[in-house]
Amino acid sequence: MKNIYLPVSGKIEEIIPQGRDVSLFRVRTQMPLDHAPGQFFMVSVWGAGEVPISVASLSGEDNTVELCIRRAGLVTGAIHSLKAGDPLWLRGPYGNGFPLDVSRGRDIVVVAGGIGMAPLRPLIKWFMKKPEDVGQVTLLYGARTPDEIVFREEMEDWKERGINVLLTVDRADEGWKGHVGLVTGLWQEVHSDLKRATAYICGPEVMIKAAMGELFLFGMPEERIITTLEAHMKCGVGKCGHCYAGPRYICTDGPVFSYREIKNYSLLLSR
């Protein structure tokens, strides 16, 4: 029987800075780890511990996984101290992925805040690979400052490939010429019919709550308002109970949920 607690060893191939205290780690593993957008891995450094990290890449044929990690604690700090060539250990992938059937033939609205862009990045890549399957794709992305915008260079390429990219920051600097304010203040620049579109959301909890509630008020059906949630996880497989919220385990029932699934429960409350 496969040991669900046994990680697979990997080697860091490249570390790409993505704004303040955030880097993209490209990791090559010993075996293919097929994963879907929205799933996560338990990532560990010997002597430091283990932490859940969302997948920031599509499955490929070269045994690599991309993880966008913010330095925020002991384990993520230990990961950020590593360099190319160092080992990193992964368990997974775990959880469900973003449902893609609800997007077929529809315009897409992707709403992201801060490092919440990481699990949504594979979705953008998927829609660019399958342009015939969806209509207009619009990305609404907010960061605290221009220096904290992740995947900024990639977003320029996304624009050239037809993605409507709308950016905003909480605090502008002298060189910022774009929008300043909440990401939910960009609705008026979305030209899709929200009643017929599908939305995918990830970011701070306050942003998720606001975006889901406002999209519902705009007439978007509950089952097409989709988010991915974070939680303090220790096992990732529904054994430890750390991520239990309401009647759900974030790790096994999620981390992806529709508004219909969570609107009456406390999954968005601090855990």
pLDDT at 270 over 50: no
24 and 132 share one domain: no
25 and 67 share one domain: yes
Is residue 37 in a domain? yes
80 and 158 share one domain: no
| Distance, C-alpha 191 to centroid of its chain | 24
Higher local confidence (pLDDT), 233 or 165: 165
Is residue 170 in a domain? yes
Considering all CA atoms of the chain, what is the largest pairwise distance in Å, rounded to the nearest integer? Answer: 58
Is residue 1 in a domain? no
- Structure confidence by residue, pLDDT tens digits, 24-75: 999 999 888 899 999 999 999 999 999 999 999 998 768 899 999 999 999 9
Residue range 82-108: mean pLDDT, rounded: 95
236 and 147 share one domain: yes
Is residue 24 in a domain? yes
58 and 15 share one domain: yes
At 1 the pLDDT is 44
What is the domain-level CATH number for residue 28? 2.40.30.10
At 249 the pLDDT is 85
At 211 the pLDDT is 96
pLDDT at 268 over 60: no
- Report the percent of the chain where pLDDT is more than 70: 96
The pTM for the full model equals 0.94
Q: Looking at 43, 61, 94, which one is the last position of a domain?
A: 94
Q: Looking at 30, 59, 94, which one is the last position of a domain?
A: 94
Is residue 107 in a domain? yes
- Structure confidence by residue, pLDDT tens digits, 172-188: 988 899 999 999 999 99
Percentages helix, strand, coil for the chain (3-state, rounded to 5) are 25, 30, 45
pLDDT at 19 over 70: yes
Residue range 248-255: mean pLDDT, rounded: 86
193 and 110 share one domain: yes
Which of 209, 148, 154, 159 lies closest to 184 in space, CA to CA? 209
Tell me the one-letter amino acid at 63: N
pLDDT at 149 over 90: yes
Burial of 1 (0-12, 13-18, 19+ CB in 10 A): exposed
Residue range 135-162: mean pLDDT, rounded: 95
106 and 80 share one domain: no
Cα–Cα distance measured from residue 44 to residue 79, given in angstroms and rounded to the nearest whole number: 8
Total domains, the chain:
2
Domain that holds residue 150: 101-262
At 266 the pLDDT is 54
pLDDT at 269 over 60: no
Cα–Cα distance measured from residue 109 to residue 131, given in angstroms and rounded to the nearest whole number: 14
pLDDT tier for residue 194 given thresholds of 50, 70 and 90: very high
Is residue 148 in a domain? yes
Is residue 187 in a domain? yes
Cα–Cα distance measured from residue 26 to residue 29, given in angstroms and rounded to the nearest whole number: 10
75 and 128 share one domain: no
116 and 233 share one domain: yes
Cα–Cα distance measured from residue 157 to residue 149, given in angstroms and rounded to the nearest whole number: 15
Cα–Cα distance measured from residue 11 to residue 32, given in angstroms and rounded to the nearest whole number: 13
Q: Looking at 47, 63, 94, which one is the last position of a domain?
A: 94
At 240 the pLDDT is 82
What is the domain-level CATH number for residue 172? 3.40.50.80
81 and 106 share one domain: no
Range with the poorest average pLDDT among 142-146, 199-203, 248-252: 248-252
At 61 the pLDDT is 62
pLDDT at 141 over 90: yes
51 and 112 share one domain: no
Is residue 270 in a domain? no
244 and 115 share one domain: yes
CA distance between the termini of the chain: 32
